[in-house]
Structure 1
Amino acid sequence: MSRRARVSPAEAGLPDGGARRRTPGLRREEVAVLAGVGASWYQWLEQGRDISVSPQVLDSVARVLKLSGAERRHLYLLAGLNPPPPEAEPDRQDMYEGLRRLIDTWMPYPAHIMDAYYNCVLYNDAAAAVLGMRPDITQNCVVDFFTDPLYRSRSKSWERNARTVVAQFRAASSARPDDEGFQALLAQLTEASPEFAAMWAERDIEDAGQIRKELEHPLVGLLVVESTAMRVPARPDLTVVLHTPLDEANTAAKLEWLASPEGRRGAMYPVAG
């Protein structure tokens, strides 16, 4: 009822007739006609009666009431249905400046942001210095994990983490089985890496979370970090990955040195590995 009251007849494409209306916004009968449902059924829906509802009908009601993605998912939950996958709201598409500030504030620790297909859309200077993120690789975190020789040479935990990476990728792709983007990425990975193909055939599945990474950096030696993957509610198509130094190998101090002017100068000179 509250959302119905917020939609004017003009916004719904109806003539208002110029007369004063006793009901703010749309009448129940108008919502029913626009959504293609019976007036009595729609009244029962608003009253929360025990009636049969379908996702298609709820989507029609959500369209007429101009519900946001969050409101549409809430409507599904109220009706006892599984909500649709979250989608980025049109007015939240431009969040890159704020997300850039977030990962830059995480310095001197590595941080990057991935889209739904694991493409790296933003990364900070520490991610470049430690993880080897750079313009001349595919910029896809799964593809580069298996095919980038620089990252492979630095990762002492590669063998242990590879199956976790594949299992988490399967969980993400399984949630969108008909997505052509995931299908194309899977074909690319299978062709590019026999190791990925073998692990994919094992059919392990795991939710994204935390991964311990051990890296041998050419300037400072061993680094031990914990990567944490976090979703952005307003941008469910993006994942922020923050790397936190663990209390091993003096990692925090080494990362601080790499981000210092002295460390940056040292990184200007090529070192094997």
Structure 2
Amino acid sequence: MTGGTVASQAGERTDGAKARRRVELRDFLMSRRARVSPAEAGLPEGGRRRTPGLRREEVAVLAGVGASWYQWLEQGRDISVSPQVLDSVARVLKLSGTERRHLYVLAGLNPPAPQAERDAEHMDEGLRRLIDTWMPYPAHIMDRYYNCLVYNDAAAMVLGMRPETTQNCILDFFTDPMYRSRSVSWARNAVTLVAQFRAACSEHPGDEGFQDLLARLHALGEEFTELWERQDIRPAGLVHKEIDHPLAGILHVESTALKVPARPDLTVVLHTPLPLADTAAKLEWLATPEARRGSMYRVAG
């Protein structure tokens, strides 16, 4: 097969994909337009309509674009589009964050960063149920600034999460004496955590929340600063934690950081027992009334 033939076939595949995307763009816009009533768009009803939803001309006026241009967009013609115009169309058609990103893709543009779907029905309650169901294993949820929003009973029992800490996962990692006394793998995991935090900061340049947190971490002393100055970058992922619990002894767990597409501002951290030191059985025991009574008589840490 010659180079020209390969290039020709690649071009045909690209043209075919582009044609299918234009058809999907047409169908998508028509379906979204049909579900928005004139009243929802702030327009008078204007009598009976042959088809539901807004007319093309009405979408164009409300979005501040030419009627012909919007018609060409909905017809899937090869026209120039900008993010600003697509955002205007998305606003008129009341697209969700996921739908807006889909519109960008169909129009041939790079989609914007995911945004939290604040109106996702029962999302927060569902995430709370998720970490409660993870019992007897530790689980918690944090925001993009590492603030711990909620944790289950196992996270309190095993990791020492409690109201009197800063409730910020990276600050508590460096400052909570209870966690530090229990974490056998603290020094190794500190290298990973700081590298992951640097990666998170790099994804949000100029973000005041990250800058404020970074300043607080540097103020703790040289321990964090020395790790930060290594310039290490690592993605969030699996971390092996070795915990010396005052009641259960050595525990080996693997933490997994998970993103939820509908709430990209949140991270769910689940801890799974590793097949070492009978960890699963120990975690199950720590969730029993017997272990809870025993914890009341032990000195913190």
TM bracket (short chain) = over 0.9
**Residue 141 of structure 1, CA deviation:** 0.5
The residue identity in structure 1 corresponding to 2:40 is E
CA gap of 1:272–1:63, structure 2 versus 1, over 3 A, is closer
SS of 2:125's partner is helix
Within 2, Cα distance between the matches of 1:170 and 1:49? 43
3-state secondary structure, aligned to 2:250:
strand
Q: Show structure 1 runs of 5+ residues with no match.
A: none
Q: Does 1:167 pair with 2:183?
A: no
User: Cα RMSD over matched residues?
Assistant: 1.7
1:29 aligns with 2:44: no
> Match of 2:111, as an amino acid?
P
Q: Percent identity?
A: 78
Shift of 1:53: 1.4
Note the alpha carbon deviations across 1:91-129, whole angstroms, 9 max, x for none. 227534332222122111111111121111111111111
Give the 3-state SS of the residue equivalent to 1:37 in structure 2.
coil
Residues 124-169 of structure 1 deviation map (CA, whole Å, 9 limit, x = unaligned): 1111111110111001001111111211111111111112212222
Q: 1:218 aligns with which of 246, 258, 274?
A: 246
Please name the residue that 1:48 is paired with: 76
Q: Deviations over 1:26-47 (max 9, x none)?
A: 1112111111112222122112
Give the counterpart of 2:97 among 60, 69, 79.
69
Residues 82, 197 of structure 1: alpha-carbon distance in 2 compared, 3 angstrom cutoff: farther
Distance of 2:241 and 2:128 partners within structure 1: 23
**Deviation of 1:193 (Å):** 4.0
Aligned-pair CA distance for 1:16 = 2.9
- Residue from 34, 44, 47 that aligns with 1:15: 44
Conserved 8 A contact 1:87-1:237: yes
Name the counterpart of 1:181.
209
Partner of 1:241: 269
State the Cα deviation string for residues 233-268 of structure 1 (Å, max 9, x = none): 222222111111101011111111211121111111
Query: 2:224 and 2:154 mapped to 1: Cα distance?
Result: 27
Q: Please give the secondary structure, in 2, of the residue aligned with 1:16.
A: coil
Mapped pair 1:84 → 2:112: yes
SS at match of 2:192: helix
Could you say if the C-alpha distance between residues 48 and 203 of structure 1 is closer, same or farther in structure 2, counting changes exceeding 3 Å? Answer: farther
The separation in 2 between residues aligned to 1:219 and 1:111, in whole angstroms, is: 19
Q: Which moved more, 1:129-138 or 1:204-213?
A: 204-213
- Tell me which moved more, 188-197 or 143-152: 188-197
1:205 shift after superposition: 2.0
**Equivalent residues in 2 for 1:184-263, closer than 5 Å:** 184-263=212-291
Secondary structure of the equivalent of 1:2?
Answer: helix
TM-score calculated relative to the size of structure 1: 0.93
Query: What SS is found at the alignment partner of 1:7?
Result: coil
Contact 1:131 1:151 in 2 (8 A): yes
Question: Are the aligned partners of 1:147 and 1:193 in contact in 2 as well (CA < 8 Å)?
Answer: no
Is 260-269 or 92-101 further displaced after alignment? 92-101
**Does residue 102 in structure 1 map to residue 130 in structure 2?**
yes
SS state of the match for residue 198, structure 2? helix
For residues 121 and 232 of structure 2, the distance between their equivalents in structure 1, rounded to whole angstroms, comes to 33
Indicate the structure (1 or 2) with the bigger Cα radius of gyration. 2
Conserved? CA contact 1:210–1:227, under 8 Å: yes
Provide structure 2 residue ranges, at least 5 long, that are not aligned to the other structure. 1-29
> TM-score, structure 2 length as denominator?
0.85
Displacement of 1:86:
1.7
State whether residues 178 and 300 of structure 2, in contact with CA within 8 Å, keep that contact through their aligned partners in structure 1.
Answer: no
- Equivalents in 1 of 2:161, 2:269: separation in Å? 13
Structure 1 letter corresponding to 2:45: D
- The question of whether the paired residues in 1 share the 8 Å contact of 2:194 and 2:228 is answered with yes
